Structure 1
Amino acid sequence: MIKMVDANDQQAVRNLDNIVQLHEVMINQRKPAEAVEKFLDPGYIQHDPLLSTGSAGLSGFFDKLLKDRPHARWVGHRAIAVNDYVWIHSNFLNLFNDDPDDTGIAGADIFKMDAEGRAIEHWEVLQVVGTPENSAPWFAPDLPAANTNGLF
């Protein structure tokens, strides 16, 4: 993973590490309640309309999802931290299917952090990761990619 952070800004370094660990523990280690308790403020504000606001909303969503998706995993690609904000570019694999060839869902997440290094607010943009032959499988099936750059 590429991490961009001023090494002299210990708060930003801690915030970036906490958001990476949030994803690692919540999804890859399959411990959403533990991750949320450690890395989110209980009053966490969620802007994703699929999830309830509050830390319990995120924990409950992933707890339920991971029970049905044994192959679900998270791969972080890029993370940037500045002051109270962390941006992370990730691939979420097998969240909504068990296909061994799943290309995943690319996420660009923004977290606002508190003084203790816990997330207090979250925004995201998600995009299905297609293939060269089927670049947008959910909303424009069989549309070939216009370039070979990929999402990551």
Structure 2
Amino acid sequence: MGATLKQIKENAIAFYKMAYNGNPKKAVELYVGAEYIQHNPLVGDGTQPFVDYFNRMASEYPDKSIEFVRSVAEGNLVALHTRQIWPDSEEYVTMDFFRFDANGKIVEHWDSMQQIPETSANNNTMY
């Protein structure tokens, strides 16, 4: 692969941040490869369903925020651990995984999201 682990981590964060903050079309143009396989059941395969989904999220939830807690890269995969705050102070912890092609472009995505509960059986955060 031509891109370094550092570069693909930076690209994954830039892609996610750009899409989340309301510019998914540009995120796709800059960071996605020839194909885009989506494993999130709420978003269709390909780039247009991704753009449509994030445009809708930006329109419906303009005050949402995201914090990138950590990123891990190995081979052609990047994992992002984030904290998201949505309207009404709903807080979520997410894990996103991206697969990159040989050109350092994103071609596949998986994610898992969990709302942070009000109480916990331990004193540790979820992020």
TM-score exceeds 0.5: yes
| 1:114-129 mapped onto 2 (5 Å cutoff) | 114-129=101-116
* 1:131 has 2:118 as partner: yes
Distance 1:147 1:128 in 2: 16
Task: Note the alpha carbon deviations across 1:11-47, whole angstroms, 9 max, x for none.
Answer: 211100000101221123x211111221112420001
| Distance in 1 of aligned mates of 2:84 and 2:31 | 19
- Preserved CA contact (<8 Å) 1:41 1:55: no
Larger Rg: 1
- Greater relative contact order (CA < 8 Å, ≥ 6 in sequence): 2
1:6-85 to 2 correspondences below 5 Å: 11-28=4-21, 30-85=22-77
How many percent identity over aligned positions?
Answer: 25
Give the C-alpha shift of residue 105 in structure 1. Answer: 1.8
The letter of the residue matching 2:27 is A
Displacement of 1:131 after TM fit? 2.2
Contact 1:42 1:54 in 2 (8 A): no
Q: Match of 2:124, as an amino acid?
A: N
Tell me the alpha carbon deviations over residues 78-126 of structure 1, each in whole angstroms, 9 at most, x when there is no partner: 10011211011112221xxx21x33x22111111101221111111111
Distance 1:52 1:42, change over 3 A: farther
Q: Which residue of 2 aligns with 1:149?
A: 124
Give structure 2 stretches of 5+ with no counterpart: none
8 Å CA contact 1:89, 1:106 repeated in 2: yes
Specify which structure has the higher proportion of helix.
2
User: Structure 1 residue runs of 4+, over 3 Å off?
Assistant: none
How many residue pairs were aligned?
126
Q: In 1, distance between residues paired with 2:26 and 2:83?
A: 22
- RMSD of the TM alignment (CA)? 1.6
